[in-house]
Structure formats: C-alpha cells, structure tokens
Amino acid sequence: MQKTHVVMLLDESTSMGPHRSAVVTTFNEYVNSLKEGSRTWLSLFKFAGESLPTGTSIFGVQNHQKGSVAPDTLKKVFENRKVNETYPLTSEQYSPHGWTPLYDAIGALIKRTKHRLPKEAKVLFVIHTDGQENTSKRYNQEDIKRMIGKCEKKRGWTFVYLGEGAASWNAGYDFGIDTCWFNPKRLTHNHDIAVTPDTVSRDVVAVTMMNDG
C-alpha cells in the first residue's frame, strides 16, 4: 500500500488569536485519529509575517507578542515524520502574531513539497486559516489557484481547507478547493450545521484514508 504524505499549514498570524485553542485541539485530535493502522507521513508548518508593534490591534485582535520581523514566512515544526513518531502541538508552540502572508505561505509550501517528493507521491495538503490575507508579496490569489489546480490535475494531490471565522467562508473556494470546513463558531460550508474540532478531525481523517487507499 502506498503511503500518504499529509502536509499541514497552520496560520499563526494575529487574527488567529481567538481560535488558538481550536487550532491546537483540531490538529492534535486529527493526528491521534491517524495513528492507528495508517501508512501516513506528516509534515507541519506554521506561518506568520512581519510582527506588529506590541499592543497593536489588527482585525480587532490585539497583538501581545514582542519583536519586529519574522525571518521566514514558513516555520517548520517537523517534516516527513511517521505519524506515530510525531508529538502533540502545544499552546506554547502555537502563538499567533504578526500579519498574514497567506498566499506566499501556501505557494512556498507547495513548491517545497513538490521539490521534496516524487511526482507519483500521494499528498494531502491541509490549510488551516481564517483567510485574512494582507501582506503577500510573491504570490496572489490567482497564482495559488493555478498552483493548486496543477497539483490536483498533474500530481493527484488532494487539498483540504479548514476555515476559522466568517471571513474565511469564501477563501477556500476562491482557491478552487472543493473540500472545505468553516468555523464561525465552527460551521460547515453549508453554514447551517455546527461541528466540533473532533468532527472536523474525523472528516479530514476520512479524506486521508481515501487518499491512503
């Protein structure tokens, strides 16, 4: 059975602050659900842009992190680990700050993953964000939509979009991603069915298992 490479990208920008607990819980429940009988390799990256001055508010969320500029948009937590060898994400490891170079982060991680894995590799690419792009410099929305489409068509990758907050509702679909879950307080794409972090993790596991088969 061919193994599946799950690549997860977590938005760690300031506007994700109110969703901090949900992000950590969803990730950990997802990983725990994968650990039994799965040939899955997992990579976890976070992203945040230039930090805001301490006390600055963005989208109504106040930044409490000190510092000026994050050296890299993408921050590797771990890469290409067997799922049974991964460790839980903690609140200390996930500390929202700074702006949101969403397009640049997605583009950079797609490019990195394509370079790392052979064309025939099975890839599930999961994006967890509130969709509030504001500082990307290299890529725009159409670039990301085109990159995602090519990876789906030419490499058979599967993309999943996990959206936090009402502002995220359209972002996943704007990228051309069909599999989307949203949390205005965690609603599905139908906007009428309340779901929990556990429900989201189970559903994404189901997508993973289909990809793994």
pLDDT for 109 equals 96
CATH of the domain at 100: 3.40.50.410
pLDDT for 101 equals 93
Domain span at residue 63 reads 4-212
Q: Which long-range contacts (C-beta less than 8 Å, at least 24 apart) are formed by 59-65?
A: 59/14, 59/15, 59/132, 59/167, 61/14, 61/15, 61/17, 61/18, 61/96, 63/14, 63/97, 63/98, 65/14, 65/95, 65/96, 65/97, 65/98
Length of the chain: 213
Q: Which of 184, 107, 119, 109 is nearest to 146 (CA)?
A: 107
Coil, helix or strand for 38? coil
- Per the structure, how many domains does the chain have? 1
- Let me know: does 73 contact 31? Beta carbons within 8 Å: no
pLDDT for 67 equals 33
Block mean pLDDT (10 aa), the chain, length 213: 90 91 89 79 92 48 37 83 92 92 95 96 92 90 96 94 76 83 48 40 53 55
Coil, helix or strand for 127? strand
pLDDT for 51 equals 65
pLDDT for 172 equals 83
pLDDT for 33 equals 83
pLDDT for 58 equals 43
